[in-house]
Each structure stands twice: as structure tokens, then as C-alpha cells.
Amino acid sequence: MNAQQKTLAQACRDASENNTMTFPQLVGALMEGGFEGYLIDFRRSVATYYLPSGEALELPTHKAVGTIAEAFDETAIKAAIREAQLLVPGYTYRGFCAKVIAGGCAGYMVSFLGRRAVYFGRTGETHVEMFPQAA
């Protein structure tokens, strides 16, 4: 992984946490930079960015507020995702994280190749959210 890719991953992490880029903008920037996906681990407060070569970069993320609920509440997680997609007034990424954690989400993986995000709970339950198809 070159220095430019490391800088890009850090900038995208910061932009997400500071609400200066939307999810589609982050995905576009990371794809253009050669990444194939990333993983957010709420238990460790870490974001991992992956290249097709197998190289990965781990970066610390903000410490999410609250304890990850034991039960996986897919309805609550889907509601938080919809708020993010619609950029409802008052939306923040940190608020999104707090909501999905309260819903039992331990983390999520974003696959650019698979055009999906997979949200997973402590017991291995999942919710798959497909990326919108290009018009």
C-alpha cells in the first residue's frame, strides 16, 4: 500500500466521522484509490481498509458510545440505515453508530466488489444492504 492510499484511507475515515462526505462519496473515493472494501469493528474501535492484493490498513475510529446490545435488532439497524441514506435532518455518523450499536450491531463490512454492506451482530446474525444500482 502506497503513501497516497494510506492518506486517502485516513482522509475518508476522518470525513466520515466529521460528516463532510456521504457514504456514496466515500465509496467512490476509496474505489478510485484502488481499495476493494473496508470493515468497521465497533468492539475494537478500528476501521480496516483492504486492497485487492491482500494488503490492509488499520486505523483507529472514535470510541462508540454505549454497549453493543446482545440481541440483533434488524428493524432498528434498517431504520438507522434509512436515516443515513435519506440524510435526515440532524443525521451524524456518530449518531448512526450509536443507533446500530444499540440495535446489536458489532460491526459492518463494505464490499465494493459485491456492492453491499453486511452488518453483523455478536451472535453472527446479519443484515445485508445492497448498494443502489447506478441509473
| Region for residue 34 given its phi and psi (left: phi exceeds 0; alpha: psi -120 to 50; beta: otherwise) | left
Instruction: Summarize pLDDT for 3-30 with one digit per residue, the tens.
Output: 999 999 999 999 999 999 988 899 999 9
Read off the pLDDT of each residue in 91-112 and give the average, rounded to a whole number.
96
Phi, psi torsion values for 29, nearest 5 degrees: -65, -45
Instruction: Summarize pLDDT for 52-97 with one digit per residue, the tens.
Output: 999 999 999 988 778 999 999 999 999 999 999 998 999 999 999 9
**Domain spans of the chain?**
3-130
CATH topology of domain 3-130: YdfO-like fold (3.30.1810)
Residue 135: the pLDDT is: 41
- Whole-model pTM: value is 0.93
Residue 29: CB atoms within 10 A of its CB come to: 16
From residue 132, give the alpha-carbon distance in Å to each of 114, 116, 135.
Answer: 12, 9, 9
> Would the CA dihedral through 111, 96, 68, 124 be positive or negative?
negative
